[in-house]
Structure 1
């Protein structure tokens, strides 16, 4: 659904919710992502990045807030981060925020693994229990 400059794709049990705020240059991906067709969603995000990258002004912010992701999603996140890294190395202001549940060491470690592979700043933000609902 598109509302002025906000594109929102509602997630399901096995696909993430995606919010792209074109004005704020903010992309939020949240929920679970383990449906093989979810890969198409990541290509749509990548297409949007390709459309705006030549005229990028200010900061481009990506927020990842996963509950669970499968190996196909991990691959697509890496593809997306790899492209964002190219933009960062070209002098663009890219911010990555990785949310994880306070006691979810696996999701924190996954974000840390991505951060080790990519040479741009990552913010790691734990969600407290009241943030889960």
Structure 2
């Protein structure tokens, strides 16, 4: 059985992924998340260029049956868990949805109107020379 451990995350990640609320933010705290997998565990870091010219770095953790994406929303890292998608990979964290497909990624706030513009529309940066 494979394990991935010592994945440091801010305490706010736990709150975001489990729906817990803290009255006061804890500064400098870390969380270690241990995932067990019967297969290989893969961690991939992908950088996207978004329409607002900002770079967005996403960490993907593939440890079947757990598939996660870690990305910042408004400067705070969130842990997104995969969910059903017709195509591509769809991840959710609270009201946020990150959908990646064929090198494109879209971040949405699902609490906004269905026709609202995405928070970010991005294309994967290809670092191949």
Same fold (TM over 0.5): no
Q: Please state which structure has a larger fraction of its residues in helix.
A: 1
Q: Please state which structure has a larger fraction of its residues in strand.
A: 2
